[in-house]
């Protein structure tokens, strides 16, 4: 009987050793919680992995706050080697995140049941940023894309008379400038700032879209090599100059501050997302969202459709006669 117990003990020990040999250097507490004892929990920037029950898990270690993300983009198996392509996201300097320790992780089902002799983790974060892979799922910002709007404005002329004007405005992407962790898009047709004759810029950082006016745009383009990271942009320009517009994904009821330094419990100085009625564009029905910004002097409402872009902009100034409305009538997205 004693001999049988020893045999069982060594069999269990062998299985445990084989399991451990199939795991990367797991150091996050989520791994410890999910998979048992003996896991070291300490700050760690390395990406690690574990194979368990037909899945591969990857971990990004311990992070000081929320806002960190790791995602598996693709998994391939070739001749005994498993290639895991992943990307990571860190919170932008202006993001408001939970102040708790987090352990970013992700998992996908293994593409094979054959023996895996080696696992290679391949970081494609820079490629994803360069191609704007996250935000482009929502807003097709690509050079050559354009949107045509019926633009109407009601305002006072130099004599104090209220006049109404209307014209077609073409919002078009002229150029794009790729940097380490953001993409700057140069556009013309600034309907958001009620300046359709001017150029402006969208800055894509992961799943956020920021906006800059023509003066700031020119400054960034002129010194683009000096601003090789979004953090350097934020340090150079005041937050009022680089304003967040879209924080994807858009979900009804979602609220995010237009300026991180303004702390309010109401909806003023924040963008609030709401579900709009469906819209027909080129014979197809699309779900439409509205994001709305309210402050004491003004209100801005923007309609948006995933994969298309901005469908309308409505501007109202509370202190003077200035109302503008732009509605999408044609577009070409790449």
CATH at residue 304: 2.40.360
Q: Within 13 Å, how many C-alpha atoms sit on residue 187's CB side?
A: 29
Query: What is the domain extent for residue 296?
Result: 135-332
* Domain final residue, candidates 82, 101, 123: 123
Shared domain for 16 and 146, answered yes or no, is no
Single pTM value for the model: 0.62
Distance (Å, whole) CA 55 – CA 107: 7
pLDDT of residue 130: 44
pLDDT of residue 268: 92
Shared domain for 62 and 209, answered yes or no, is no
Shared domain for 88 and 146, answered yes or no, is no
Domain contains 129: no
Domain contains 128: no
* Domain final residue, candidates 95, 123, 151: 123
* Domain final residue, candidates 61, 88, 123: 123
Shared domain for 83 and 227, answered yes or no, is no
Distance (Å, whole) CA 297 – CA 311: 24
Shared domain for 238 and 215, answered yes or no, is yes
Domain contains 93: yes
Number of domains in the chain: 2
pLDDT of residue 46: 82
Shared domain for 219 and 324, answered yes or no, is yes
Shared domain for 20 and 55, answered yes or no, is yes
Domain contains 130: no
pLDDT of residue 4: 54
Shared domain for 166 and 117, answered yes or no, is no
Distance (Å, whole) CA 144 – CA 138: 17
Domain contains 205: yes
Residues 6+ apart with CB under 8 A from 178: 129, 130
Shared domain for 199 and 247, answered yes or no, is yes
pLDDT of residue 174: 96
pLDDT of residue 251: 85
List the one residue out of 322, 320, 300, 329 whose CA is nearest residue 192: 300
Shared domain for 68 and 94, answered yes or no, is yes
Domain contains 314: yes
Element (H, E) at 236: helix 230-236
Contact yes or no for 240/212 (Cβ under 8 A): no
Q: Within 13 Å, how many C-alpha atoms sit on residue 269's CB side?
A: 9
Shared domain for 159 and 264, answered yes or no, is yes
Domain contains 209: yes
Distance (Å, whole) CA 67 – CA 64: 10
The pairing of beta strand 81-89 with beta strand 118-123: parallel
Shared domain for 53 and 154, answered yes or no, is no
Domain contains 324: yes
Per-residue pLDDT of the chain (334 residues; tens, 9 = 90+): 555 555 555 555 554 444 433 444 333 333 434 433 333 333 345 899 999 999 999 999 989 998 899 999 889 888 899 999 888 888 765 566 788 999 999 999 999 999 999 999 988 776 554 444 556 778 999 888 999 999 999 988 888 888 899 999 999 999 999 888 899 999 999 999 999 999 999 999 888 999 999 999 999 999 998 998 898 998 898 778 999 999 988 888 999 999 877 888 888 999 999 999 899 999 999 999 999 999 989 999 999 999 899 999 999 988 777 899 999 999 999 8
């Amino acid at each position: 009987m004693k001999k049988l117990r020893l045999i069982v003990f060594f069999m269990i020990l062998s299985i445990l050793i084989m399991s451990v040999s199939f795991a990367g250097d797991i150091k996050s507490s989520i791994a410890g919680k999910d998979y048992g004892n003996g896991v070291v929990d300490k700050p760690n920037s390395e990406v690690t992995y574990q194979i368990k029950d037909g899945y591969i898990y990857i971990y990004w270690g311990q992070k000081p706050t929320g806002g960190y993300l790791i995602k598996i983009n693709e998994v391939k198996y070739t001749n005994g080697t498993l290639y895991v392509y992943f990307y990571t996201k860190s919170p932008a300097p202006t993001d408001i995140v939970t102040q708790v320790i987090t352990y970013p992780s992700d998992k996908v089902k293994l593409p094979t049941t054959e023996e895996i002799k080696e696992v290679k983790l391949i970081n494609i974060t820079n490629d994803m940023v360069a191609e704007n892979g996250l935000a482009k799922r929502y807003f097709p910002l690509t050079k050559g894309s354009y949107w045509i709007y019926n633009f109407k404005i009601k305002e006072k002329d130099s004599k104090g008379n209220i006049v109404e004007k209307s014209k077609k405005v073409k919002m078009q992407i002229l150029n794009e400038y790729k940097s380490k962790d953001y993409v700057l898009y140069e556009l013309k047709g600034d309907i958001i700032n009620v300046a359709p004759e001017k150029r402006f810029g969208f800055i894509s950082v992961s799943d956020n879209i920021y906006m800059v006016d023509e003066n700031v745009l020119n400054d960034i383009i002129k010194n683009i090599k000096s601003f090789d990271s979004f953090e350097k942009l934020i340090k150079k320009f005041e937050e009022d100059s680089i304003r967040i517009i879209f924080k994807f994904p858009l979900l009804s009821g979602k609220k995010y501050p237009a300026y991180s330094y303004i702390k309010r419990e109401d909806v003023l100085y924040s963008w609030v997302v709401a579900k709009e009625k469906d819209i027909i564009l080129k014979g197809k029905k699309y779900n439409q969202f509205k994001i709305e910004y309210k402050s004491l002097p003004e209100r801005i409402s923007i309609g948006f459709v995933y994969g298309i872009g901005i469908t309308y902009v409505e501007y109202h100034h509370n202190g003077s006669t200035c109302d503008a409305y732009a509605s999408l009538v044609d577009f070409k997205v790449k």
